[in-house]
Amino acid sequence: MNDSFLESLSKMSLFGGRAYVKLLTTICSTQYENGRYTLSFDAIKGQDERRLTSIKNKRREENYKELACIAAPCSGDFDVSLTDNKCVFKFTVSGALKPSSPLEKGEDVVEYNHKQVDSRKILHLSPTYDEGSGGEAVIKFWYNDVVKHSVIIHNVPVTKLSTSGSSASGFEGSQTQQKYLDLCDGETISQGTVRTSGRGASFQNMAIGEPPRPQGPTYVPAQSPPAQSPVTCMSEEYDEYTDKGNTAFDKILSNTSLQNLVYALTPQDCSQLHINLNVPHSIIQTNNKNHPGDISTANYHSLLHWRGENNGSNQPAQNRNKALFEELVDKLDRIKRRDIAETLKTVIQLNKELDKSDFKHI
């Protein structure tokens, strides 16, 4: 099919002929960090990369992005017929997510308008807490009763987190209710629920067997912990790094520092960082399973695995930690978070652990 024919086809579509259309799915990153799923569906003129790039850039400015949790966010080009310069795609949602409120007739469609730059639909979704879904939601786009494209949303929480004095809702307002399991001197400490106002919480040093004491947020003991084997650290070598070292490299790689690093990164950033640090996919999946609905803690434990796996080196501790720090900075730069990398370079000169306040300028 040559270019002149496609151009003629495009002109014909203005009067109700045919056109090529593609679908783009993005998710609001700021909402996602707080456990909410607000999706944007764009029906875009096909075979026009400049138009697609323009729409993607516009959505990024609105904090709608193609995050790593979305599989196949952009479709191929569909050859569709137009009526009054328009065509309609119907969508269905199944699995781990559902519309936050029932969709009225005509609300379950994305309409393409050949005369408009933006043909868009915003959809708010909520977890179904269906364990049989495996934490995956499927969105199917239909045209003339045929599925033309499917999008999969991964890592949706399938377990409600219970709190005392309130109903279990997974997420409440701008707060996340996090099951916290930390490691201290290679042993498991008590479990509980921590209510925070952001992406994570900072914890004071504690004795073995004591519940974690957050700085600022209120600790709410878990009323009925699930009957399961305690999760222990995946590598005994973690212990060497647990807030024991005195060098700047020890401190920048401490548990507290890694917790606050995760706090400063988005879930997508963490996913890309884990890939670049060669954290095995099986480890990431295990951590997500061990911490359902708490992506920050899961990402933190994936960084612990990276640190622990590299503890078996025969290099002196000082050289090994320096190499780990340099690798971390390099990978942050590679995933285009140079701002975070530069912050780490600044903090290590101060010979201290990372603190949330170190990222207040970002």
Question: What pLDDT, on the 0 to 100 scale, is given for residue 19?
Answer: 92
Choose the most confident range, by mean pLDDT, from 231-235, 292-296, 297-301.
Answer: 297-301
Q: Which strands make up the sheet holding 86-95, listed edge to edge?
A: 70-71, 146-153, 137-143, 86-95, 109-113
Can you tell me the distance from the alpha carbon of 232 to that of 251, in angstroms, rounded to the nearest whole number?
23
Q: What is the mean pLDDT of residues 340-352?
A: 93
Q: Where are the domains of the chain?
A: 3-153, 171-359
Q: Which residue has the tokens 């917790």?
A: 259
Cβ-Cβ contacts under 8 Å for 131 (sequence gap 6 or more): 158, 159
Confidence of residue 164 (pLDDT cuts 50, 70, 90): very low
In the chain, % of residues over pLDDT 70: 69
Question: What pLDDT, on the 0 to 100 scale, is given for residue 291?
Answer: 83
For the cut 60, the answer to whether the pLDDT of residue 334 exceeds it is yes
- Report the candidate in 189, 332, 170 with the shortest Cα–Cα distance to residue 255: 189
Confidence of residue 233 (pLDDT cuts 50, 70, 90): very low
For the cut 50, the answer to whether the pLDDT of residue 78 exceeds it is yes
| Ranges of H-type helices in the chain | 3-13, 29-33, 49-61, 248-252, 255-264, 267-276, 281-290, 295-309, 317-334, 338-349
Can you tell me the distance from the alpha carbon of 120 to that of 360, in angstroms, rounded to the nearest whole number?
34
Question: What pLDDT, on the 0 to 100 scale, is given for residue 119?
Answer: 87
| Ranges of H-type helices in 124-254 | 248-252
Question: What pLDDT, on the 0 to 100 scale, is given for residue 292?
Answer: 80
* Contact by Cβ (8 Å): 262, 270: yes
Question: What pLDDT, on the 0 to 100 scale, is given for residue 134?
Answer: 87
Question: What pLDDT, on the 0 to 100 scale, is given for residue 311?
Answer: 58
Question: What pLDDT, on the 0 to 100 scale, is given for residue 131?
Answer: 86
For the cut 50, the answer to whether the pLDDT of residue 188 exceeds it is no
Rounded to two decimals, the pTM is 0.45
- Report the candidate in 99, 80, 86, 98 with the shortest Cα–Cα distance to residue 149: 80
Q: Is 85 left (phi over 0), alpha (psi -120 to 50) or beta?
A: left
CATH (residue range 3-153): 2.60.40.2660
Question: What pLDDT, on the 0 to 100 scale, is given for residue 175?
Answer: 34
Choose the most confident range, by mean pLDDT, from 23-27, 156-160, 246-250.
Answer: 23-27
Q: What's the mean pLDDT when you consider all of the chain? A: 75
Residue 262 burial by CB count (10 A; 0-12/13-18/19+): exposed, middle or buried? buried
Question: What pLDDT, on the 0 to 100 scale, is given for residue 9?
Answer: 47
Question: What pLDDT, on the 0 to 100 scale, is given for residue 104?
Answer: 86
Give the pLDDT confidence of 99-155 residue by residue, as tens digits: 988 888 888 999 999 888 778 999 999 999 988 888 899 999 999 999 999 999 999
Question: What pLDDT, on the 0 to 100 scale, is given for residue 28?
Answer: 92
Choose the most confident range, by mean pLDDT, from 15-19, 174-178, 281-285.
Answer: 281-285
Question: What pLDDT, on the 0 to 100 scale, is given for residue 174?
Answer: 33
Six-digit token string for 299:
């990402």
